[in-house]
Amino acid sequence: MTAQVNTAQLTAMMQDARQRTMELVDGLSADQLMGPKIRTVNPLRWEIGHVAYWYEYFISRSLDGEKSLLGARADELYDSIAVVHDTRWDLPLLSLEETLDYMQGVMDRLVDRLGTISHDTLASEVDSFIYQFGVFHEDMHTEAFLWARQTLAYPTPKLVMAEDVAAERAAGPWPGYVEIPGGKFRMGAEKDAPFLFDNEKYAHDVTVAPFAIARAPVTNAEFAEFVAADGYANDAYWCDVGKAWRNMRGIDHPGYWVKNGRGRWRMRRFEHDIVLPENEPVIHVSWYEASAYCRWAGERLPTELEWEVAALGTLAADGSLAATKRPYPWGHTPPTPNCANLDARALGSIDVGALPDGDSAFGCRQMLGNVWEWTADTFQPFPDFAPDSYQEYSKDLFGNTKVLRGGAWTTRGRMMHGTYRNYFRPDRWNVFSGFRTCRAV
């Protein structure tokens, strides 16, 4: 059951998400708004139209039976299931001005149908869910806009929310491991969670064995040791599929690293070439690279269960694993900048030693924000899984993607909670992905 949200809050969320979308396309040329045809990004002019289409399809069309503002063209242009990725550059797309008009027209409809915009007026449970899902869907796409800008070396975006995080980029490392007791744990989201996605359905009892997990994600400096030790070249560290992927790409270092002399590295962040930040988490690595590093280091990736226990679990008075867990690593309050690097406010990662206020009960740092963390597991449904109205959100990805947890600096804080599950193919590396290591005890 989704908690009912007031109409003023829903409207403000939609307007804020739209502001972020506009910030991320602002200043780009017509050519940049289309970009090259590559597998891991969409043409931005298509993608912003798709965001408006999603709201229109699942709210005004599906709930109210209204026709699209674009007529039959809407499905032909913006249905992401029917419109194959590689064809999106070749469609008779709306001009940018027409696209923006369509986006505004859909927004006006959505606001109008809420009726009274007030902090005292609660939207229905159905509207509370689907409006929030629409905002979170746009949030997911604004994260994709950021990885598109990074992939294509576009200029650093200018965001109202951006802050000076110099102190957080000087916080240093956070080495070491914490030991976590085994026991029974409720994995997933409870039915009374304020909001949950279908793949979080529902919390269920599982048993976890004792384990130790790193207090922070693997840093650039730590991963550079693997690179220097010829970890990319040593087949012993790579699974067969990972070896084939590595060989096909001919790589010997993470994405966006730039060689700067013998054993020295720089890194590209948007259009800037910067000195490799040693104490920031390694980012833009695939599941294959993360797994190879773990084998080299004599460690392993945590399972999804272990990750959630380390992030949300608590200790009972006798030192055993408690029966209860937190919604966030630090407690019950939603994310704030002193707890998690989210919302693109830093326009990049920060040192892994920063933000101690966000530590989990076991002392794990930055388990929400900064960098998405690969887990060992293939994405699978929980026992009580049932798809929501957006049926393709999860079910088509089960079995062929790997689970990431925790969010990155790009992720919007309003949609991030401890049981959120992300998923990408193991060869994806441009999605702000990193990892932390784990071991048995």
Decide if pLDDT at 263 tops 90. no
Per-residue pLDDT tens over the stretch 225-254:
999 999 999 999 999 999 999 999 999 999
Decide if pLDDT at 378 tops 80. yes
Residue-averaged pLDDT of the chain: 97
DSSP three-state, residue 434: strand
| Beta strands, E only, 124-243 | 177-180, 183-187, 204-208, 211-214
Ranges in the chain annotated CATH 1.20.120.450:
7-151
Confidence of residue 95 (pLDDT cuts 50, 70, 90): very high
Give the per-residue pLDDT at 1.
64
Give the per-residue pLDDT at 262.
83
The CATH number that domain 161-441 falls under is 3.90.1580.10
Burial of residue 64 (number of CB atoms within 10 Å: 0-12, 13-18, 19+): exposed
Mean pLDDT of the 421-438 span: 98
What is the residue-wise DSSP string for 365-412? --SSSSSEEEEEEEP---TT----SSTTTTGGGTTTSEEEES--TTS-
DSSP three-state, residue 6: strand
Give the per-residue pLDDT at 59.
97
Residues in Cβ contact with 411 at an 8 Å cutoff, skipping those fewer than 6 apart: 139, 143, 342, 343, 369, 372
Query: What is the homologous superfamily of the domain 7-151 according to CATH?
Result: dinb family like domain (1.20.120.450)
Decide if pLDDT at 209 tops 80. yes
Ranges in the chain annotated CATH 3.90.1580.10:
161-441
- Region of 163 please: left (phi>0), alpha (psi -120 to 50) or beta: beta
Give the per-residue pLDDT at 140.
98
Mean pLDDT of the 283-310 span: 98
Q: Is the pTM of this model over 0.85?
A: yes
User: Which one, of 326, 347, 323, lies nearest residue 335 by Cα?
Assistant: 326
Mean pLDDT of the 94-110 span: 98
Mean pLDDT of the 318-332 span: 95
